[in-house]
Structure 1
């Protein structure tokens, strides 16, 4: 079997045997059944990263954290990743809070072997995120039979500080409607312009209505659209292999029919069809990559922002920041505002915890803010009452 090709770690030099992890002190004993063939830390981490090959942004984020830990372990602690202990993890968290200047040198390149790995100290939230990613890495290696245990499992649970976390990376309904209106005003004089318009029109509505991630949307095909008891559903497989079904509105199916007819396909998808849900610019049958879907959406938002800039700089700036994941957040937020039960939103987004879904519930906080800050009516005072 051919192992997946993964551009993993840009190390300044090959690791010597003592630091490679071949004989790490936390390696699982030979009696443990191995699920992976990798026998050194770089290869084992590479297999973990390969699990995220279809999600480019997640892949790059996870690779960055793996590189930082590997270089710190081998260069600062003088040990392989597979020998790290709980004491090392505590020391690494302190390192993230105050990395030495040599690791933050602005004169270093942004890419390549000798590059800058830090801009500066990581804030508490960024440190928690980094350690959470690495905890996932170690859990994977333990389940794979590569490591005996994870030094991250002993990490104490910190009480959340500040107000309940809510999602702010979304477009309110008025701004979302404005985005669609701007796109609908794009020129469609040439065949190429018409092709681009129809594709963008469909991608925006598809991602918004289904709350799919870019990788999930890129992987969707017409065979995933399933009519059940007279209603349409979309079957999808998301992060971690989690399967789910998403209800599809009649309006979205009409948009899909329009998109398919434009490319000369039957209006209704075939249950055994293989045509991608998102076709190439000229209707090619090969699916787009998740990166291509992401770039199409980003380019669309930049173009819309340029138009909005003429009238409202603040709205333009917000749209310019938006991405495919903003559409997922926008979908969930609008569903919550429409009164969709939270457990239904949880199923639509395929969250394992309803607590994760609750970050989209803004209505209660908005109502509390409005009732607290509404203008007070000052009681009238008659001068005759003043002593």
Structure 2
């Protein structure tokens, strides 16, 4: 699960009595990761953060037991700017690929918080397991600020005018001479962005979606999804999504509506059968954002929109979907069900109505000279 190296393979300090069977830091982390094998998504996320820490420790010739308050600050700085970049940063690759790198880019403040939250849990477990003597996270004076992953409101989304432009751009008709391959890619990209916007899935949920996950009950269509924390949910399917799905299925030579227990993937490769992986889907969306940015930059006043599209990630589509649903007046309880949030205050970050009203009312507060 986690690669071994010289420093990672150091034995546990003799001052600590271990309660797990492990001979190295890497093996101890593997024991921790086994607690999360029930959820593939959580397992991958936790492995990624633990692996970054172990690789950094290896580069510093350190072990988990040597991580103290000072080292924790150094590691947080490393997450902000992993150097040398050629050693740490690179495009998505399979973990077995020689060009695989642990970072796609330096981590944002939100991503650093998430990383530290996960690693705080790792060290708590390692202390209980007797592998390390203390948890350095407990010494953080500003721990609440650093590890509180909640924000006042979601800002990483496409505002309505930009989304409307993007959707129109995605729907531009192809030239009459377009190849069958071009038609396939055009329809698949429309489905990807429509799926992301209408149902607010996570990337992994979209990639793993099967045709049989769409089902009809008492005349209404639903999408069955196993999401974060291995939780099962059913989400209402809007008419626009059903239309997009039907057009895509007919292009694949299938019936317009999914049949019960149909096993094929929703999103497929060029052969029309092979499913898309998380990384491939991520790259397709990022490439679309890049192409759209180049297109809108040509338009007058499009520079700001282009800048937004260039920094957007696929997860922004989920934020965009939930934010626009909130702006459309969908009740908080239903937003939470669509987003599959366990806490209403998490969903409430998508509510911008109060901020808009605050701006409107404060606009009446002006300098006297402007009223003359």
With the length of structure 2 as denominator, give the TM-score of the two structures: 0.78
SS at structure 1 position matched to 2:61? helix
| 2:158 aligned with 1:171 | yes
Residue matched to 1:289: 277
- Alignment match of 1:217 (pick from 193, 206, 211): 206
Residue matched to 1:369: 359
Matched-pair contact (CA < 8 Å) for 2:211–2:266? yes
| 2:117 aligned with 1:132 | yes
- Superposed CA deviations along residues 345-368 of structure 1, whole A, max 9, x for unmatched, are 122111222222121111211220
* Distance in 2 separating the partners of 1:300 and 1:276: 21
Matched-pair contact (CA < 8 Å) for 1:308–1:316? yes
Matched-pair contact (CA < 8 Å) for 2:8–2:25? no
Residue matched to 1:158: 144
Measured after TM superposition, the shift of residue 70 of structure 1 is 3.9
Q: How many residues align?
A: 349
| 2:228 aligned with 1:235 | no
Measured after TM superposition, the shift of residue 261 of structure 1 is 0.6
| 2:57 aligned with 1:67 | no
SS at structure 1 position matched to 2:261? coil
- Alignment match of 1:95 (pick from 74, 84, 87): 74
Structure whose CA Rg is larger: 1
* Distance in 1 separating the partners of 2:367 and 2:82: 56
- Alignment match of 2:27 (pick from 43, 51, 71): 43
| 2:335 aligned with 1:342 | no
Residue matched to 1:33: none
Deviates more, 1:227-236 or 1:131-140: 131-140
| 2:265 aligned with 1:276 | yes
| 2:297 aligned with 1:309 | yes
Matched-pair contact (CA < 8 Å) for 1:225–1:235? yes
Tell me, which stretches of 5 or more residues in structure 1 are unaligned? Answer: 1-5, 30-36, 383-387
Residue matched to 1:182: 169
Q: 1:381 to 1:158 in 2, by over 3 A?
A: closer
CA RMSD in angstroms, aligned pairs only: 4.1
SS at structure 2 position matched to 1:171? coil
Aligned pairs for 1:235-254 within 5 A: 235-254=224-243
* Distance in 1 separating the partners of 2:360 and 2:324: 19
With the length of structure 1 as denominator, give the TM-score of the two structures: 0.75
Measured after TM superposition, the shift of residue 55 of structure 1 is 8.1
Measured after TM superposition, the shift of residue 219 of structure 1 is 0.7
Measured after TM superposition, the shift of residue 276 of structure 1 is 0.6
| 2:12 aligned with 1:21 | yes
Deviates more, 1:88-97 or 1:232-241: 88-97
Residue matched to 2:315: 325
Tell me, which stretches of 5 or more residues in structure 2 are unaligned? Answer: 90-97
Measured after TM superposition, the shift of residue 9 of structure 1 is 4.2
Matched-pair contact (CA < 8 Å) for 2:48–2:102? no
Measured after TM superposition, the shift of residue 305 of structure 1 is 1.2
SS at structure 1 position matched to 2:298? coil
